[in-house]
Structure 1
Amino acid sequence: MADVIVVGAGASGLNCARLLSREGLHVVVYEARARVGGRIRTFQPADGGPPLELGAQVVHGDRNPVHELLGPGRTRAVPRRVTARIVEDGTAREMGALSSGRRAPWQLEAVLQRSPGVTGLSVASWLRACGSTGTESTAVLEWFRQNWAADPEELSAAGIARAHRGDTVGEGEFAVEGGFARLPERLAEGLDGRLRLGEPVRELVYEPGRVTVRTDAGTASARAAVLTVPPAVLIPGLPAWKAAAATDLPAGDGCCVVITLDRPAPDTVIVFDVDGSTGFTRCAAGRPEVLVVAKADAAASLRAAGTGTALSALLATALPWTAGAAVLEVVVADWGQDPYARGAFTAPRAGREDAARRWAEPVDDTLFFAGEATVAGEQLPWVQGALASGERAAEQVLKALR
């Protein structure tokens, strides 16, 4: 019998397993996919060009623990001087239009971070109270949808403010040399023989001090288990109050697509679609790939476009240079339809701000919980939040077992 079973080999599960193994515990990690990384997924162009991210996009902050985990020289700052545009009312415009005669979305989000008295308000209701209307309101609502994968009418203003205040990773954005998938590969080092890839946990049975999980390959037992799967991927066998917490933590829809065209991009550009059809679209000068990262309603729009002419039309609106280009390849990471993700990530919902705490709470010092959903509304739900949750769960397990 193992000491600990970890369910999920994303950033939180691997970090937890790594720390527990380092303390001499016998840990076994079960992962439903045939790879490690969870919602970290890197696309590698066939010609060896720069990788593109189909999941987690960048390392946020110069003090992010990812830098230390990867080692010196493994990350590089993302250039700040990039041509930025928007699509608004079906027309491509310069990004500066968002701050011409109105408050830019990022300015309003910064105001929210410093705002007292927002408890109980949704982001949309807070914006109305701030007098945000018309084109300003349309743009900032879509900004929140794309950055938080949630409907602003449901998104907690207090949770967003707390998450920003709880962020301590510093400034800047960084790319991982060779792709973000290097991080889970690094975390998995030393876990050889303890990783069970392609084995989803179908059910668990527990009593204080003992957990048994059932997979397609059979059953396994341990003294404790750490569940890192998203709450939306509810594993049968959890107590009713845990299932209730899970229903209050829905993951927002998300879909990422890499489209390889028959011609290279003339410029490096990022486009924010205010109209809500494509989220953020990126291309790099001299490269034939276009990356689309869409969340909330835009994810559904991108999904519905498929891989044919409708997708080409969406691209041509955001990036006019793609008009008439032939599509050579489309690679999709549809997180909203992924049975082991059920969405991009979890954002705090107004009126349900305690759900993350309830989901994170251990059960009988035997079941423990990690993953970005456990920090929703307290920390930013990016990779650093997932790593921190895995470390917290490891500390809880060590205290319980020792």
Structure 2
Amino acid sequence: MRADGGSVAGVAGVADVLVIGAGVSGLTCASILNRAGVRTVVLEARSRIGGRVRTFRPADGGPSLELGAQVVHGDRNPARALVGTETAPRPAAARVISGRVGRPMGTLARTPCPPWTMEARLNAEGAADGVSVNDWLRDNGGPAPVASEWLRQIWATDPDRLSARGVSAAQRGDTAGHGEFVVPGGFDLLPRRLARGLQVHVGRPVEVLGWSPGRVSARTATGTVRAGRVVVTVPPAVVACGTLTIEDLPADKIEAARELTPGDGCCVVVTLSAPAPETASVFDADGVSGFVSCREGRPEVLIVARDAAAACVRAATGPDLAAMLTVALPWSAGTRVLDTEIADWGTDPWSRGAFTAPRLGAELAPGRWAEPVEDTLFFAGEATVSGTRPPWVQGAIVSGTNAAERLLKAMSR
């Protein structure tokens, strides 16, 4: 793997396939092509590989924390064959915030609509076309604000715009199995394993992608890379906003890119002046801070916030951030914030959000975006499987695999 940001001029004219984006989908696709003997070059805009996988490691060597993909979902998740995993530990204390008051999570089990029960019912029963998640909740137990916020945080989308049928279909289409697992040493081990043996150039954003059947040219600040075919793995929103321009892109592709808007997400590691006295996980049902967690004996607190909560966390600095933590973790009162590490996926120009959930009115967009153009432009990324698979790491792997298989079939014709 080349990850030194070296000039791309030296690779011009030697690639059969260019892959744009070194996230999990792009690296999965490139690794399959590479094993098939296809000369493949990967260009990555960021100074690192991994896309929306980002691991934080404390300076003192303490346990790593995830600022992007959090866990490996499922005991049959293909990621487990690439990296060693351990069962995700359960926190000693689990709480929910409602009305800005913290309560044991177990109190939700005694309510008419526990969020995990409603989520399981939706996944199992499905829903009709045109029904939002909030509509489904109202029709299956009455108003359920806690369950609504729970699903908002899981899917990073306003439940009034989230397709109930798409959520259910994605979960039922998932073949990853059950359980949640962590990667010892950090989730970023996964992209590093995928990138082995590949020619990857980081810090090389593609500005303009030109193409004609059987020929592509990717213009960067340091030169142009030419290849016979290309796999675009950046989120569609990056294309829709013009950060990556694809010349002569068909109208249905442009429309699909505009429809596939990823949900907002912001993750923060806050280092406090005192260690946590407990291992705890807190769900903020008021929609302010998403999920907040800490580990006994460690000064780091992890905030994972999506949709409206992401905007709250993004805006919270200084006293506001300390007050937010005090509600979620009362023990933090009186501590000082020593440092913060932020992964603001909503404002990141190369992600434009957390991931792409199935939205009402955009049910056909993932398939339209995934469809190749003239056996020359191919597309991957979790957005291409939205509504048929969960848009998490296993979805990214499936999408990269699908694109590689389509491309190899086109090359064999």
Shift in Å, 1:114 = 2.0
Equivalence for 2:325: 315
Task: Decide which of 206, 209, 214 is 1:201's aligned counterpart.
Answer: 206
Q: Which amino acid aligns with 1:218?
A: G
- What whole-Å deviation, never above 9, does each CA across 1:298-329 have from its counterpart, x for those lacking one? 000000102x1100000000000001101111
Q: How large is the Cα RMSD of the aligned pairs?
A: 1.0
Shift in Å, 1:359 = 0.7
Shift in Å, 1:45 = 0.5
What is the CA–CA distance in structure 1 between the aligned matches of 2:228 and 2:126, rounded to whole Å?
44
- What whole-Å deviation, never above 9, does each CA across 1:61-96 have from its counterpart, x for those lacking one? 1111111112xxx21111235321011101011112
Matched, 1:217 2:222: yes
Q: Which amino acid aligns with 1:264?
A: P
What is the CA–CA distance in structure 1 between the aligned matches of 2:115 and 2:126, rounded to whole Å?
19
> Where does structure 1 differ by over 3 angstroms across 4 or more consecutive aligned residues?
none
Identity %: 57
Q: CA contact under 8 A between 1:118 and 1:126: conserved in structure 2?
A: no
Shift in Å, 1:124 = 1.1
Task: Decide which of 4, 15, 19 is 2:32's aligned counterpart.
Answer: 19
Shift in Å, 1:215 = 0.8
Residue segments in structure 1 that go unaligned for 5+ positions in a row: none
Q: Which amino acid aligns with 1:233?
A: V
Q: CA contact under 8 A between 2:287 and 2:309: conserved in structure 1?
A: yes
Matched, 1:229 2:234: yes
Output the TM-score relative to the length of structure 2.
Answer: 0.94
SS in 2 for 1:285: coil
Equivalence for 1:290: 301
Shift in Å, 1:240 = 2.1
Equivalence for 2:7: none
Higher mean displacement: 120-129 or 332-341: 120-129
Q: Which amino acid aligns with 1:286?
A: G
- What whole-Å deviation, never above 9, does each CA across 1:240-279 have from its counterpart, x for those lacking one? 2211001111000000000011111111000000011000
Matched, 1:121 2:131: yes
Q: CA contact under 8 A between 2:127 and 2:164: conserved in structure 1?
A: no
Q: CA contact under 8 A between 1:8 and 1:30: conserved in structure 2?
A: yes
Q: CA contact under 8 A between 2:276 and 2:294: conserved in structure 1?
A: yes
What is the CA–CA distance in structure 2 between the aligned matches of 1:185 and 1:115, rounded to whole Å?
39
What is the CA–CA distance in structure 2 between the aligned matches of 1:230 and 1:67, rounded to whole Å?
24
What is the CA–CA distance in structure 2 between the aligned matches of 1:80 and 1:324, rounded to whole Å?
27
- What whole-Å deviation, never above 9, does each CA across 1:157-194 have from its counterpart, x for those lacking one? 11001001011111111110110000001111111xx2
What is the CA–CA distance in structure 2 between the aligned matches of 1:93 and 1:44, rounded to whole Å?
31
What is the CA–CA distance in structure 1 between the aligned matches of 2:257 and 2:51, rounded to whole Å?
19
What is the CA–CA distance in structure 2 between the aligned matches of 1:366 and 1:295, rounded to whole Å?
35
Shift in Å, 1:116 = 4.4
Equivalence for 2:310: 299
SS in 1 for 2:207: strand
Matched, 1:167 2:174: yes
What is the CA–CA distance in structure 2 between the aligned matches of 1:323 and 1:359, rounded to whole Å?
48
Shift in Å, 1:126 = 1.3
Task: Decide which of 244, 269, 285 is 2:280's aligned counterpart.
Answer: 269
Matched, 1:34 2:34: no
What is the CA–CA distance in structure 1 between the aligned matches of 2:53 and 2:344, rounded to whole Å?
12
What is the CA–CA distance in structure 2 between the aligned matches of 1:169 and 1:230, rounded to whole Å?
23
Equivalence for 1:186: 193
Shift in Å, 1:365 = 0.7
